[in-house]
Amino acid sequence: MTTLTKSSEQPEGREVTELDRVTIRFVGDSGDGMQLAGTQFTKTSAVLGNDISTFPDIPAEIRAPQGSLPGVSGFQVSFSSHDIFTPGDAPDVLVAMNPAALKTNIGDLPRGGILIVNEDEFSETNLKKAAYKDNPLTDGSLSAYRLYKVPITSLTQRALKDTGLTPVQIDRCKNMFALGLTYWMYSRPLDTTIRWVQEKFGKNKAVADANVMAVKAGHAFGETTEMFASHYIVPKAKLKPGLYRNITGNEATALGFITASKLAGRPLFYGSYPITPASDVLHELARLKKFGVRTFQAEDEIAAIGATIGASFGGSLALTGTSGPGLALKSEAIGLAVMVELPLVIMDVQRAGPSTGMPTKTEQADLLQALYGRNGESPVAVVAPATPSDCFNIAIEAFRIAVKYRTPVIFLSDGYLGMGSEPWLVPNVDDLAPIDPDFASDAATFKPYARDPQTGAPPWAIPGTPGLEHRIGGLEKADITGNVSYDPNNHDRMVHLRAEKIERIVQDVPDVEVMGEPGGPLLVLGWGSTYGAITTAVMRAQAQGKKVTSAHLRHLNPLPKNLGEVLRRYDRVLMPEVNLGQLRLIVRGKYLVDAIGLNKVAGRPFTIADIENKITELLG
Amino acid sequence: MVTTDRPENVGGLTRKDFVTDQEVRWCPGCGDYSILAQTQRVMPELGIPRENIVFISGIGCSSRLPYYMNTYGFHSIHGRAPTIASGLKASRPELSVWVVTGDGDAFSIGGNHILHVLRRNVDLQIILHNNEIYGLTKGQYSPTSEFGKRTKSSPYGTIDRPLHPLSVAIGAEATFVARAIDIDAHQLAATLDRAARHRGASFVEVYQNCNIFNDGAFAEFAAKEVRADRTILLEHGKPMIFGKEQNKGLRLNGMTFEVVTIGENGVTEADIMVHDETREDPSVAFLLSRMEGPAFPVPVGVIRAVQRPTYDQLMQQQLDEIARAEGPGDLRELFTEGDTWTVE
C-alpha cells in the first residue's frame, strides 16, 4: 500500500514525494528481460537500505509465441521504509512492455495506479495477438489510471544507434531503458546495476556499454521529459543491524542444506530429477561442489530418492528434492526409509496440483500427501519454512531432526517461497549448533534396532565399520535384532515404536508463540508461506484496535506440544491455507477445535486484503 | 585378460565367514542356493574386508539373498536396488557393492534403472537371477518368459515378446557383460570372480532354475549331459570352440555367426573366430548376446569386458579437482556472495 507522507517542491518545479512503501510490477514478453529488470530493481533497492520482498510470475512455456498472452512474464517487487512480509497485494506501478502484458495484468492495478506502457509495441499485429479489438491506449479504457505512454523501443534504438550493435541486440536493451526510468521515478542510484552489467557482459564490451547507455537513457528521459510531474523517494527501512544480502527461498534452502552438512561434518548428497520449481536447488548445489556436495541427477524421481537412501546408508547427509508430482513418485521409497529408519530429507517445493497442475504457480496442497501419502503406518516428520530467508533455518532444522531421530523429514516449501526473495541477515556460522551423526562403532554392544532411550532412534551403523555387518530392509523386522519377523505382536510393537519415535521429536519443537493477546475472540493460525500475508493483515487489524492474534507453525509433524492449549484460549480460530483446508482437518481432528477455513487455490498466494477482509467479517 | 586391481588375499576369511545365522527360505532345489553358495565361496578370494562389502537387492525370491550374506546388506523395494547401490557407491567409492536382482525386478519394474546404472558405469556388480518366471508371486510370466508361454496370468499363452537381458545391457553401454548357469558351479564362481574384479558396472546373467514354477526352463542346454554340445564357454583370446569333441566352432560369415565343424568341408581351427572380450565395438558381443539354441550353442562366460572410467571415480575426481582449484568451501564467503549491504 502506498502511503503519502509528505511532499515538497524542488527548485526546478518537480515535486518529490516521500512514500513508505511502493510495489512495482514489470511485465512483458518472456523474451523482454522482465525478470532481469525486476531483480536489478530489487538489488538496487536492497543496497539502498529498503526492506524488500519480491515475487516473479513466470510462464510455464519457455518461449510461447512472441507477443502472445501465454508468453507474458512478470516480476513484482515491493520496497519499503518499514518491515514488510509480502511482495505486496497489488502493484502501485505497472510497467507493461506490450499489449499482451497489459491485458493480463491491468486487472491487478488499482484505479489511480501508475501505468507505464511501451507504446511502440501497440501495433495492429501485437494488439491482435493480445486479442484487443481497439487500441486501449487511445480508446479511453485506461482512463482510470495514471497512464504514461513512453516509446521505449524507439527511444532505446535512438540512444544506441551509434553502438554498432545489431537491431536485435539493441532491442534486447529496452528492459534496461524501462529500468532506468523507474530508477529515476523512485530516486534510485544506477551504480549497482552498472556494476552488475559490467561484470555480466565484461567480455563483450559493446553489449555491456549498450546496456549501461540504455539504463542511463531511461533515467535521463525521466529527468528531462515533462511527462512526469513528480518523482518519489522511499527512505531506508529500520532493519536489525548487520550484514544483509538479498536471497530467494530456493537459494536459502540450498545454503541451509550445505550448512547442515558442515555442521554435521558429513558430505551432502543430493539426488534429484529436474522439476519446476525445485530445479534451482539442484543448480545451486551442483555449482557448489567445492563444499564436497555430491549431486546425482537421476533418471527419475524414484532413482533420485533411491540413490539418496543409499547415500544415507553410507553415512552422508542425504537429501532429495522435488515438487508435488515427484513426491508422489517417491512415496514407496519414503516408506522404505521409514521402515529401515535412516536419516533423510525430502524437499518438496509445492506447486499447484493435482497431476502436472500449474508448475510455475504456488500452492500448499501437498501437506496431507507429506503426512500420510504412503502405505501402512508410516509417520515422518514434516517442517515448513515461513519466508524465503527462513528456508535456510528450516533446512538445517530438517537435517537436525533427521539425523537425531534417524527418520525421513519432509521439508515443505512452495513456489511462492522458492522463487520469492527478501533481505537476509547473514548469520554467524559460529552461532549454529553442530549436528552429531553419532555413528555406531562398538561391535560388542551393537544391535541394529536397539533404541536410544531418549529419542527412540536406532543406531546409524554405516558400511565400512568392522563388526557391525547387518542387514536392513523393507520387510518387518524383529525388535532389537532387526531380523525379518512376521510375528503379529512384534509388528504391533514395531508400528508403535516407529510412531512413538516421531512423537518424541516434540521435545525439540519450540512452543508456538502468539503475536498479540494471549487469548481473545480470534486467533489466525497459519503455516508455511502464508506467514507474510497473515502477519501483515493481523498487524493492520491490531493497529485498528481489533482483538486478533496470529500464530505460525513451522513444525507440522509433530505439532508443538502447547498448540492445543493455545487454540483453546481463543473463541474462534481462523486458518488461511492455499488448499482446501488440509491443516484444518488435522487441527480439528487432533484438538477438537472447530477452526474456520479461509481457503484459496488460485495458484497465487493470499493477499493481505484477503485475510484482512476475513478478519473484518469475523470481528465486524 | 582384464587387469586385477584388488589384492589376491584371503585375509584369513573363509566361505563360512560369509554365512549368516538366518535360515535360508528358498524352496528346496531352487537354483538360488547354488548362486548363494558360489557367491559365498568367491568372497574370501577377493581380499576385501567383510565390512566393506554390501549386498543390495530389490524384491523377489532372489532378492532375499542379502539376508544370507554376512556382510552389510539392504533388501530394498521392487526394482530400485540399482538406485540405492548407485547412491551408496557414488558416496562411498571404497565399498564393494553388489546388486542382486531377478528378471522381473531388473527388467520389468526396474527396467529404467538398469539402463542408467549401466550407462553410468557405476563400479558395482549386478547379478541377475534369471528364471524367466515370477516366483515369489507364484507363477506369472516375466519379461524374459518365452513368447506364448502359458502361466497363471497367461492361461492362453503370452503375447509379449521377451527381451534378451545381455542385449539390453550391451545396448545400455555396459562395460562388463557375462553369463553363467546355476548348476555349473565352477563356471559360475569364475564368472562372479571376474565380475568382482572388473572396474565398472559388471552385469552377470545367471540362468537360474525355478523348480516350482518353471522347472527345466534351461535344461535343454544346461543339463549336464548336453551342456558341452549346446553351450559355448567364451574365453578371451581363444577360438570359440565347443562340443563334447571340441570340434565345433563359431565362424563369422558376413554379419552373422555360423556353426562349423573342424575337419569338415576344409574347416580348420584357424577359421574359428577368436573371442575378444575387450573389443570396443559392441557388434560381435551383441550377436553373441542373442545367440540361442537349438541352432546355436548358448554362450556362457565373459562376453564383453572393456575399460571405461567409472561414475564413482569421475565424481570423486571432479570433487578433488574442484577442491584443488577453488579451495575448500567457506560458508561465510558463500553467504555473502553477490551484493551485500550493512545496516548500522
Nearest to A239 among B52, B84, B343 (CB): B343
Contacts of B74 in chain A (CB under 8 A): 310, 313, 340, 471-473
- Mean pLDDT score, A488-493: 98
Residue B74, min C-alpha distance to chain A (Å):
5
What is the reported pLDDT for B3?
A: 42
Contact between B339 and A192 using a beta-carbon 8 Å cutoff: yes
Percentage with pLDDT > 90 across chain A: 90
Q: How many domains does the structure of chain B reveal? A: 1
Q: Which residues contact B86 (CB under 8 A, 6 or more apart)?
A: A296, A303, A306, A307, A310, B117, B120, B122, B124, B311
- Mean pLDDT score, B134-154: 96
Residue A469, min C-alpha distance to chain B (Å):
5
* Domain presence at residue B130: yes
Nearest to B75 among A46, A242, A473 (CB): A473
| CATH number where A109 lies | 3.40.920.10
Q: Which of A431, A459, A490 is the last residue of a domain?
A: A431
Least confident of A56-65, B2-11, B42-51: B2-11
Q: What residue numbers bound the domain in which B36 lies?
A: 15-217+309-317
pLDDT score of A412 more than 70: yes
- Give the chain A residue nearest B311 (alpha carbons): A296
Q: Per-residue pLDDT tens for A272-331?
A: 999 999 999 999 999 999 999 999 999 999 999 999 999 999 999 999 999 999 999 999
- Mean pLDDT score, A359-367: 96
B74 to chain A, any CB pair closer than 8 A? The answer is yes
What is the reported pLDDT for B340?
A: 86
What is the reported pLDDT for A13?
A: 57
Contact between B80 and A463 using a beta-carbon 8 Å cutoff: no
Contact between B335 and A306 using a beta-carbon 8 Å cutoff: no
User: Do residues A72 and A135 both lie within one domain?
Assistant: yes
User: Do residues A172 and A293 both lie within one domain?
Assistant: no
Nearest to B87 among A240, A296, A475 (CB): A296
Contact between A303 and B331 using a beta-carbon 8 Å cutoff: no
Contact between B341 and A243 using a beta-carbon 8 Å cutoff: yes
Residue B64, min C-alpha distance to chain A (Å):
10
| CATH number where B177 lies | 3.40.50.970
User: Do residues A419 and A284 both lie within one domain?
Assistant: yes
| Peptide bond connecting A277 to the previous residue in cis, omega within 30 degrees of 0 | yes
Residue B105, min C-alpha distance to chain A (Å):
14
Angle between helices A531-543 and A608-619 (to 10 degrees): 50
Residue B258, min C-alpha distance to chain A (Å):
39
Residue A361: closest CA among A309, A396, A324: A324
* Domain presence at residue B234: no
What is the reported pLDDT for A60?
A: 72
Q: Per-residue pLDDT tens for B82-99?
A: 999 999 999 999 999 999
User: Do residues A227 and A249 both lie within one domain?
Assistant: no
User: Do residues A348 and A299 both lie within one domain?
Assistant: yes
* ipTM score assigned to the predicted complex: 0.96
Report the Cα B314 to chain-centroid distance in Å: 22
* Domain presence at residue B80: yes
The three grid cell numbers given for residue B57, joined into one nine-digit string = 537387492
Q: Which residues contact A513 (CB under 8 A, 6 or more apart)?
A: A551
Local confidence band at B11 (pLDDT 50, 70, 90 cut-offs) = low
| CATH number where A405 lies | 3.40.50.970
* Domain presence at residue A451: no
Q: Which of B72, B119, B316 has the highest number of chain A CBs within 10 A, making it the mutation to test binding with A? A: B72
Q: Which residues contact B150 (CB under 8 A, 6 or more apart)?
A: B156, B157, B158
pLDDT score of A7 more than 50: no
Which stretches of chain B are DSSP H helices? 32-42, 81-91, 103-104, 111-120, 165-171, 185-197, 219-222, 224-230, 283-289, 311-326, 331-335
Contact between B86 and A242 using a beta-carbon 8 Å cutoff: no
What is the reported pLDDT for A229?
A: 77
User: Do residues A212 and A166 both lie within one domain?
Assistant: yes
| CATH number where A600 lies | 3.40.50.920
Residues paired with residue A54 on neighbouring β-strands, in sequence order: A77, A421
Local confidence band at B8 (pLDDT 50, 70, 90 cut-offs) = very low
Nearest to B91 among A303, A311, A469 (CB): A311
Local confidence band at A5 (pLDDT 50, 70, 90 cut-offs) = very low
Reduce the DSSP state of residue B268 to 3 states and report it: coil
Total Cβ atoms within 10 A of residue A152: 26
pLDDT score of B181 more than 90: yes
Q: Which of A82, A197, A291, A389 has the highest number of chain B CBs within 10 A, making it the mutation to test binding with B? A: A291
- Give the chain B residue nearest A260 (alpha carbons): B331
Q: How many domains does the structure of chain A reveal? A: 3
User: Do residues A144 and A281 both lie within one domain?
Assistant: no
Reduce the DSSP state of residue A56 to 3 states and report it: strand
Q: What residue numbers bound the domain in which A270 lies?
A: 245-431
Secondary structure letter of residue A427 according to DSSP: P
- Mean pLDDT score, A465-482: 97
* Domain presence at residue A500: no
Contact between B51 and A484 using a beta-carbon 8 Å cutoff: no
- Give the chain A residue nearest B48 (alpha carbons): A464
pLDDT score of B298 more than 90: yes
User: Do residues A83 and A188 both lie within one domain?
Assistant: yes
